[in-house]
Amino acid sequence: MKKIMAWIASLTMCATALTAPMQSAIPVKAETGDYNYAEALQKSMFFYEVQQSGELPDWNMVTWRDDSMLTDEVQGGWFDAGDHFKFALTNAYTASMLAWGYLEYGDAVKKAGMEELYKNNLQFGLDYLVNCDLGDSVVYMIGDNFDHQWWGSAEVYMRKYKLMKQEDQRPFYTCEDSCINAQMAAALAGGYMIFKDSDAKKAEEYLTHAKDLFKRADTVRETGMNDEKEHEFYKPTTFYDDLFFAANFLYMATGDQAYLDKCANEYINNLGKEEQSSEMKFTWGHCWDDTMQGAMLLYAKNTGDSQWKEQVKKHLEYWTTGYGGKQVSYTPDGLAWLFQWGSLRHATTTAFLAKVAADSIFADDDTLAKKYNDFADRQMNYAFGDNDLNMSYVQGMGENNPKTFHHRTASGIHDDHWQSLGLDESEAEGWQTEYAHTLYGALEGGPDKDGSFTDEVGAYRFSEVAIDYNAGYTACLCAMMDDYGGEILENFPEQETPKWNEFEVAAVIQQNQANYTQIQVWAMNHSAWPARVVKDLSYNYYFDVSEILEAGLSIDDITVSIGYDQHASDEGALTASKPIQYDGNIYYVKLSFNDGRVVMPTGQSEHRAEAQIRIAIPDQINGQSTAGMWNPENDYSFQGLQEGGQDLLKMPEAITPYITMYDGDTLIYGVEPDGTKPDNTTPKPTDPTTTEASSDPAGSETLRYGDVDDNGEINILDVVLANRVYVGIDSLNDKQKKQGDVDGDLKITLSDSMQILRYLVHLIDKF
């Protein structure tokens, strides 16, 4: 890769030399650390967009997500982990860390071209915090234990919730709690500093809420007041650390010395102490429950006082080589291992504190700065694969990720049988083993103290992902980019295509008699791109009436009946049409759900709707037997069906494409008798540089993207010409302009030159 990039740089200089002496070179990827930290940050933003609840913003890049939880008391916010709870505490902690990372290293984020992406995601979290602030209390939790009892996608959560609880809204809980309020205040003060120059109105809103939340937190000075519902999941142990943390953020936002005075006079003496000691605590790590160490670093920066710099040093020494006879544990392969839950979360968050300290309060101490920077680099790179397992614990980064992760929506499970995820098919007894989606950017919990990793979806402390796990890690990525650069992926994310049929039909023959055929049918919804329900759902069964007409019978002699309907007593009841002509002697009966949303990917009994359908002619007409006049062997939908019952119906061989399924009038599954298939795939072009442009009324023209000079080839001369056009030396005709605009921004820039170079050296295979 380094040789390729060196060649690109060389070509770039040659191309630029042919333009104008004052023109700077095409920007190229600089020498970086061991990994592409910009790509990692880009993917971490993807993870946060996966976690979005409510109505998704138009900039959400996750094509397999859709709106969800639209009846929540407070819309928006991030789902907490692989479940669908929303906690103000972890949303606030996460937003505070993302804000802090940007405040320290925003220039690196901007340089990588991710300013808008980062700010969008941060603002999404901050706006939720604003809406959770009710003025006299805070909505601290939305959801209940049902979330941990059921496994499925966010988009259909409320369908299942309504089915099981007969309620249209999830429960929500309010309280006044100093930990929650203070962390919300810290995050919103950080948001004020970030947005004050670009969106003054929004920034002032953040600051107003931050001040009010801090005042209430400081007045209440209580942990756990009336928020007992949350304590099963998150139970804060103290609040002075959070007041300390928020006061420092508010000082930075306002310059008001009163906030630092509160730290000195009221908070510091009440901060945690080492066990059985009066010494101020320097062990443990910065997290949602203990913000003391991060707050101390901010306080040391804000005051410049050597006493607090020394306190920060104690903490970082504990995490590196030890202090006062105490040192964090280390795995044999080098991870600073604090705790069994989220071991990588703690290591990468401390890595962020180490980076900030090295770049600020210890910047004039080369030895300490190097020590803490090296520690941070090792911990971050451990997460990307520098470990004895060669395992990248960040999903979608590197080639060897854990095969399991604990995340409901990303799994795409339709039948709630999630325990089989990641198993070999031979172990899964026919249940789904494959994840529907790649959960790009999610940091998994991490290894055990001995460096081992239990790669099982149910091993929560290893395979869990969470917004707070990614928080300090994301902040540290900003620091890594500041040190080493990086390059975002230009075509990320790629459009996912379904790995299985989202809708399908299975059928078996129950009875095949002289004057009727009875089949048992499962109409199934296994959607995950995104998970969804279809109200106007139906399926067609096709049959040939030639032999009936030849026997002198008419279409009116054919009857269709439903012997069993799983939803006969509810809103999804099936109705059967009379025979409808398809083409010639081919007819079909349409089985329509009154409300097809009852067929939903939410559980073993809901993902398929069972029915028994009989198509028959009378036993006799005018006293004459009709035996032998009915012959299903030439029926389109009969082909391939086998005789059997439920056991066969569950097997793959029962799936039939000859019974077609519809969303309204749109075919969504199967093949009609004339060969018509669902229009849900886009064929790949044979040449990734060409496309057909049909805007010309006289016809269409073939464009070969990258062929700027339009000579039929793509080579370095196209790069040279693009550069010359960019600086005004040459001009292009309309077709050349189209072919040169490979990044699609409707103009020829250095970005186009760079993409063509990347194509020439096979770093990308399409524009």
Size of the chain, expressed as the number of residues it contains: 767
Sequence-distant (6+) residues with CB within 8 A of 702 are: 690, 691, 692, 693
Residue 587 parent element (H or E): strand 586-593
Q: Is 738 helix (H, G, I), strand (E, B) or coil?
A: helix
Q: Are 85 and 154 in contact (CB under 8 A)?
A: no
Q: How many CB atoms sit inside 10 A of residue 55's CB?
A: 14
Q: Are 457 and 465 in contact (CB under 8 A)?
A: no
Q: Tell me the C-alpha distance between 248 and 244, whole Å.
A: 6
Query: Does residue 231 have an active-site annotation?
Result: no
455 is an active site residue: yes
Q: Which of 181, 339, 322, 328 shows the shortest CA–CA distance to 245?
A: 181
Q: Which residues contact 304 (CB under 8 A, 6 or more apart)?
A: none
Tokens of 593: 């759900």
DSSP designation for 231? G
d(CA 190, CA 206): 9
Q: 692 an active-site residue?
A: no
Report the 10 Å Cβ neighbour count for 592: 16
CB distance 64 to 496 below 8 Å: yes
Q: Which of 83, 416, 444, 483 is catalytic?
A: 83
Euclidean distance between CA atoms 470 and 489, whole angstroms: 20
* Structural element, H or E, at residue 544: strand 537-544
**H-type helices in 448-567, by residue range?**
460-463, 467-484, 546-550
| Options 406, 437, 526, 567, the catalytic residue | 406
Task: Please tell me which residue in 67, 73, 359, 455 is annotated as part of the active site.
Answer: 455
Q: Which one is catalytic: 386, 464, 606, 635?
A: 464
Active site residue 317: no
C-alpha–C-alpha distance, residues 472 and 100, integer Å: 9
CA-only gyration radius of the chain, Å: 31
Amino acid at 573: A
DSSP-derived letter for residue 653 is: G
Report the amino acid identity of residue 42: Q
**Amino acid found at 348:** T
Contact 445, 343 (CB under 8 A): yes
Q: Which residue has the tokens 């990320």?
A: 492
**What is the distance between the terminal CA atoms of the chain, rounded to a whole angstrom?**
20
Does residue 616 contact residue 559 with C-beta atoms inside 8 Å?
yes
Alpha helices (H) in 626-730, listed in sequence order? 646-649, 716-726
Q: Which SS3 state, helix, strand or coil, does residue 466 take? A: strand
Enumerate the active-site residues.
83, 406, 455, 464
